[in-house]
């Protein structure tokens, strides 16, 4: 956050005023000593003219493999991890899918600029695309341009469950 604030030539006080987040919180965030709400980070990002992802992801990390903890609760079991990010101009659709054993879904290419994000929650899924094949098991994800022919394939003997996000 400090890197973006300095690059924008904005003081901590000015950032606090523009974002609606206290100056003390801004100071603590820059020192790595604060745990704020995700909406507070959204406000800070907007005030700096960057995205939420810009604030929480390392600059050199590809957007489809961020894997950055963005929230922690009081319990060690409570963690929010940002897996990846895709830019959207029109909409984002959230789907749940189940694919039975031996089933496949074949899709035609979407318009240019469309993307998909798949997160397997149970079982194993193969995603075949013109630009490559990805094998996923529970907890793994993939992000790709869906402006190409692609297929979801379940080679297994049990159903696979996954979450699909379409971004356009």
CA–CA–CA angle 101, 106, 109 (5° rounding): 150
Question: Which of 53, 82, 111 is the last residue in one of the domains?
Answer: 82
Q: Is the pLDDT of residue 72 over 90?
A: no
DSSP string, 97-113: EEE-TT-EEEEPPPPTT
- What pLDDT, on the 0 to 100 scale, is given for residue 120? 98
Let me know if residue 135 belongs to a domain.
yes
Domain count, the chain: 2
* Partners of 99 in beta bridges: 160
Based on the fold, state whether residues 76 and 13 are members of the same structural domain.
yes
User: pTM here?
Assistant: 0.72
Question: Which of 56, 82, 108 is the last residue in one of the domains?
Answer: 82
Based on the fold, state whether residues 8 and 39 are members of the same structural domain.
yes
Higher pLDDT, 70 or 28: 28
- Element (DSSP H or E) covering residue 122: strand 115-122
Based on the fold, state whether residues 52 and 117 are members of the same structural domain.
no
Asked if 96 contacts 154 with a C-beta cutoff of 8 angstroms, the reply is no
Q: Is the pLDDT of residue 68 over 90?
A: no
Asked if 86 contacts 168 with a C-beta cutoff of 8 angstroms, the reply is no
- pLDDT above 70 covers what percent of the chain? 100
Based on the fold, state whether residues 40 and 74 are members of the same structural domain.
yes
Based on the fold, state whether residues 53 and 77 are members of the same structural domain.
yes
- Element (DSSP H or E) covering residue 4: helix 2-7
The pLDDT tens digits for 85-128 are 888 888 888 999 999 999 999 998 988 999 999 999 999 999 99
> Whole-angstrom Cα distance, residue 44 to residue 55?
9
Question: Which of 52, 82, 112 is the last residue in one of the domains?
Answer: 82
Let me know if residue 35 belongs to a domain.
yes
Mean confidence (pLDDT) of the chain: 91
Based on the fold, state whether residues 76 and 107 are members of the same structural domain.
no
Based on the fold, state whether residues 121 and 157 are members of the same structural domain.
yes
CATH number of the domain where residue 44 is located: 1.10.260.40
Based on the fold, state whether residues 16 and 67 are members of the same structural domain.
yes
Sequence-separated (6 or more) residues with CB below 8 Å from residue 32: none
Higher pLDDT, 1 or 151: 151
Let me know if residue 34 belongs to a domain.
yes
> Whole-angstrom Cα distance, residue 47 to residue 105?
43
- pLDDT above 90 covers what percent of the chain? 58
Range of the domain at 43: 2-82
> Whole-angstrom Cα distance, residue 163 to residue 146?
15
Let me know if residue 137 belongs to a domain.
yes
> Using 50, 70 and 90 to split pLDDT, how confident is the model at 51?
confident
């Amino acid at each position: 956050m400090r890197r973006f604030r300095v690059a924008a030539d904005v003081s901590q006080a000015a950032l606090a005023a523009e974002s609606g987040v206290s100056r003390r919180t801004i100071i603590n965030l820059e020192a790595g000593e604060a745990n704020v709400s995700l909406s507070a980070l959204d406000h800070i990002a907007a005030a700096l003219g960057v995205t939420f992802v810009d604030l929480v992801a390392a600059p050199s990390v590809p957007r489809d493999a961020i894997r950055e903890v963005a929230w922690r609760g009081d319990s060690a079991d409570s963690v929010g991890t940002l897996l990846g990010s895709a830019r959207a101009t029109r909409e984002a659709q959230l789907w749940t899918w189940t694919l039975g054993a031996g089933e496949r879904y074949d899709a035609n290419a979407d318009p240019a600029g469309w993307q998909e994000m798949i997160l397997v929650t149970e079982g194993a899924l193969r995603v075949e695309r013109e630009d490559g094949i990805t094998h996923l098991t529970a907890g793994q994800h993939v992000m790709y341009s869906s402006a190409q022919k692609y297929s979801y394939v379940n080679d297994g003997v049990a159903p696979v469950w996954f979450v699909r996000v379409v971004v356009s």
